[in-house]
Structure 1
Amino acid sequence: MKKLIVKLWATSMLLLCLCGGAFAQMPPVIPIWDANKVTLGLHKVSKDVYAIIPTTAETETTKGIPQATTGGFIVGERGVLLIEVMLTKRLYDQEVKLIRSVTDKPIIYAVNTSDHGDHCFGNYLLPESTLIIQNEFAKDNLAKNYDGIKSFMVGLFGSGRGIENTVYRPADIVIPKNNNLKIDMGAGKIIEMMNVGTAQSPADLFAWMPNQKVFWAGNPFIAESPAIPWLFDGFFLEPAANLKKVYDFLPGDAIVIPGHGRITNKAGIKYTIDYVQELKTEVEAAVAKGLTLEQTKEAVKMKDYDKGYVLFNWLHYNFNLPNAYKDISANKKN
C-alpha cells in the first residue's frame, strides 16, 4: 500500500506539470516566487537560535503575496543544526553566509521539513559530514521519485532558476510516522523533530524547541492570514486532524516560524485551522445533501476566507476543496 501511495503521488505531480489538460490547475503566476530574486535575512529569536526569512516577508505576507521558503539554525556546543536547505544553490549559499555571520562552527545536522524541493534540494551542497534528517516517507519518496519532484518544482517555480542542477542526496537519519527525535545541542538547546503524520503531505516534519518555545511549522502552516493551506498532495481528513493536534500542542506564547511567511505566533496560524475546519463543515454538509463535486464547488466558495491571497482560487477550487470532497465522500461510504 505504501509503494502504491508513493507511485500515485509522483504520478499526480507529473501530470500536474506535464499534461496539457492540467495547465488549468497551474497557479495564476509562474514562478510563484522567483528563486533568482529572493534575498534571505537573519532574525535572532533567542540566544543562539535564528530564523532565516525572505526579506520581503515582513511587508508582503499580510498582503497575500506568496513568499519563498523560511528556515533557521541553532548554534550548539559542537556545531550548527540547520533547518531547511532551500531550493537552489543561490539560496543555499545565502543561508551559509548568514550562518557564517554569527559562527564558524560546522553544520552537523540539516533538517528537511518536507520532500518538496524548496526544503530539501540543497542537500547535495552540504558538507559530507553533515547528517541529514527527514521524515521516513520523505526519504523513500525522494529516493524513488526525485526526477519527478524536480519536474514538479520547475513547473511551479520556473526553469533557469538552478533547480535543474540539483542532485539527489539521501537522508542519514529518518523519523517514522508518529515518532519524534530529540537532539540536544547543549546549554538547554533541545530540538525535537516531530513526525505526526500527514499535515500537508506524508513527508511533513516539525521542529520544536521546548525550552525556547520556538516552532518551525513548515508547509502545513504556510503563513498567517490571508494565506490558506496548500493541501495539494491528495489528502484532507488526516491533515485536518493533525493540523488541529499540532495547533493544540503549542503553548500560547510560542514563536512560530511558518513555512513561507514572516515570524508569527500561535494566534497568527489560527487562520489555517479556521479555514480547514470551516471547509470540512461545509463539504460535509454538501456531501450529506448528495451534491456532486462541481455542485459543491458552486456551494462552498468560502468568501469569508478569500481576503486577497494571490493563490486562493487556485488552491481552494483545484486542491483543498476537491481533496476534502474525496475524503469526506469516501468516509461516508465506509
Structure 2
Amino acid sequence: MNPVSFASESDTREQHGRLVELGNDVFGFMSDSDPNCGFIVGDDAVLLVDTRATPALARELRSAVRSVTDKPIRYLFLTHYHAVRVLGAAEFGEATIISSAQTRQWILERGQADFDSELGRFPRLFANVEEVPGLTMPHLTFDGGMSLWFGQREIQLMRFGAGHSYGDSVCWLPGDKILFTGDLVENRCGVYAGDGYLQAWSGTLQQLRNLDAEVAVPGRGAALIGAAQVRDAIDGTRGFLDTILAHARSSLDNGESLRTCYEKTLAAMKPSYGDWPVFQHVLPFDVARAMEELSGGEHPTVWTAERDRELWDLLHG
C-alpha cells in the first residue's frame, strides 16, 4: 500500500470473519485486522457484542450465530460508537440495543459526522452502504455498569472511563474470565486515538488489566488466549499511546508544528509498529489528537470528511 494514500482508501483486500469458540457458548467473530465482534448464547437468547459496518456485512455475523444456535438474538451491546462497528445493527431489528449513556450522547453529538468520515477513510468496510437506514441508536443505556443474567451466568457491561472514545465500555464474563474489550485494546494493530482521551486511556487500561482476564476479544487482531496474551495486548496498546504522547509533549515544549511532530513520531514508531495493520492510517489522527489534548482540548474536535482530508494534506502534501 502506498503510505501516502489517504487513510485506508487503497486497502481493498477482502477479509472474512471467522468463528472462534472462546468458552462454553461464547464466541468471537474474528478477522485478520478488521473490527472484531462476537456473541454469547444463553439459555433462551443470544447477546451480540458489536456488529459490523453495514447490514450486508452483519448478515455474515447472523449466519455465524445461526451455525451454532437457533435461539433468538434479543440483545446487542455496543462497546462504543464508530460507524464501522455499529451500523450493521439495522440487520438485527429484533434486538434491544444497549450502550453506555456516554455512547448515546456521543451519537447525538457526532454520529452523522463519524459515519461520513469513516465511509471516506475505509470504503471497503462499508459494503452495500446504501442499505444503512440511518444512525444506530440504543434502546437502553447505563451509567457505570449493569448486569445481564443468562441463567446462572452473569454478563457485566461496564464503563471504566474514557479511552478510545468517551463512551467506551466492555463486556466481562467474571465466571469465565472472558473479556470483550472493543477498541480499548488492540492486538498488534494500529491504535486509533483520533477520538480518544489518551491520558485517561492509560488508567482505563490499568483497570482492564486488573480484571485478570484469561481470554479476550480485542478490537482488532487475533483472539487473546491466556492471561499472558491479554496482558501483553493491554501493555502493547498502552505503549503505542504513551509513545505518541511523549512525542507530542516534546514537540509542544519545543514549539514545533503538527507536521514536524508527526514526522518525528512516524520515524520513531515505524521500526516497532510500522508492520501493524492500519498503522499508517491511524497515526496522523492520533498525533493531531494528542497535540490537541495536551494543548487543553478536553474533548476531541469532531472529525468530518472535510477535516480528515485537510489533515492528510497538511501532513503529507
Query: What's the TM-score bracket when you normalise by the shorter of the two chains?
Result: 0.7 to 0.9
CA shift at 1:259, angstroms? 1.0
* Map of 1:46 onto structure 2: 23
Residues in 2 aligned to 1:49 and 1:74: alpha-carbon distance in whole angstroms: 5
Are 1:88 and 2:49 matched, yes or no? no
The structure-2 alpha-carbon separation of the partners of 1:297 and 1:181, relative to structure 1 and needing over 3 Å to count, comes to same
Q: Distance in 1 between matches of 2:268 and 2:101?
A: 35
Query: Hey, what does 2:303 align to over in structure 1?
Result: none
Q: Residue 116 of structure 1 corresponds to which residue in structure 2? A: 82
1:254 aligned onto 2:217: no
Q: Counterpart of 1:98 in 2: which secondary structure?
A: helix
Cα pair 2:162 2:196 within 8 Å, conserved: no
With normalisation by structure 1, the TM-score equals 0.76
The 1-side partners of 2:92 and 2:210 are apart by 32
The answer for unaligned runs of 5 or more in structure 1 is 1-23, 58-66
User: Could you tell me which amino acid in structure 2 is paired with residue 46 of structure 1?
Assistant: G
Q: Which amino acid aligns with 1:95?
A: L
> Of the candidates 168, 183, 207, which is equivalent to residue 219 of structure 1?
183
One of 126, 129, 140 as aligned partner of 2:105:
140
Matched position secondary structure for 1:327:
helix
Q: Secondary structure at the match of 2:114?
A: helix
**How many residues align structurally?**
285
User: Do the aligned residues in 2 keep the contact of 1:88 with 1:166 (CA within 8 Å)?
Assistant: yes
CA distance in 2, matches of 1:25, 1:235: 27
1:26 maps to 2:3? no
Question: How far did residue 151 of structure 1 move?
Answer: 1.6
Letter in 2 for 1:180: G
C-alpha distance in 2 between matches for 1:292 and 1:242: 29
The aligned runs of 1:57-136 (5 Å cut-off) are 57=32, 67-128=33-94, 130-136=95-101
Distance across 1 between alignment mates of 2:241 and 2:256: 20
Moved more, 137-146 or 212-221: 137-146
TM-aligned CA distance change 1:234 to 1:39, over 3 Å: closer
* Amino acid aligned to 1:263: A
Deviation at residue 279 of structure 1 after TM alignment: 2.9
Deviation per CA, 1:13-60: give whole Å up to 9, x if none: xxxxxxxxxxx7931x416466xx432221111111111112xx2xxx
Q: Does the CA-based 8 Å contact 1:50-1:72 persist in structure 2? A: yes
CA distance in 1 between counterparts of 2:84 and 2:281 reads 20
Q: Is the 8 A contact 1:138 1:203 kept in 2?
A: yes
**1:144 CA displacement:** 5.4
Instruction: Tell whether the 8 Å contact from 2:29 to 2:61 is kept in structure 1 after alignment.
Output: yes
Q: Is the 8 A contact 2:106 2:166 kept in 1?
A: no
Over the residues paired in the alignment, what is the CA RMSD in angstroms?
2.5
1:123–1:299 CA distance, 2 compared to 1 (3 A)? closer
Matching of residues 110-259 of structure 1 within 5 Å: 110-128=76-94, 130-143=95-108, 145-158=110-123, 161-168=127-134, 169-176=136-143, 179-187=144-152, 189-222=153-186, 224-225=187-188, 227-233=189-195, 235-246=197-208, 248-251=209-212, 254-259=214-219
- Give the letter for the 1:204 counterpart: D
Q: TM-score, normalised by structure 2?
A: 0.80
Q: Report the alpha carbon displacement of residue 257 of structure 1 after superposing the two structures with TM.
A: 0.7
Find the counterpart in structure 2 of residue 274 from structure 1. Answer: 239
Aligned partners of 1:90, 1:165: CA distance in 2, in Å?
8
Could you tell me how far apart the structure 1 residues matched to 2:192 and 2:252 are? 22
Paired with 1:40 and 1:51, the residues of 2 have a C-alpha distance of 9
Partner of 2:249: 284
Residue 298 of structure 1: CA displacement?
4.5
Say which is worse superposed, 304-313 or 196-205, in terms of deviation.
304-313
Partners of 2:110 and 2:273 lie apart in 1 by 34
d(CA) in 2 for partners of 1:145, 1:290: 31
Unpaired runs of 5+ in structure 2? 298-317
Q: Could you tell which deviates more after superposition, 298-307 or 37-46?
A: 298-307
Q: Which residue of 1 aligns with 2:288?
A: 322
SS of the residue corresponding to residue 302 of structure 1 reads helix
- Check 1:315–1:181 CA distance in 2 against 1; reply closer, same or farther (3 A cut): same
1:329 to 1:149, Cα distance in 2 relative to 1, 3 A:
closer
Contact kept, 8 Å, 1:154 with 1:164, in 2: the verdict is no
Q: Any idea what SS the aligned residue of 2:86 has? A: helix
Corresponding residue number in structure 2 for 1:21:
none
Q: How far, CA to CA, are the matches of 2:238 and 2:79 in structure 1?
A: 19
SS of corresponding position for 2:162: coil
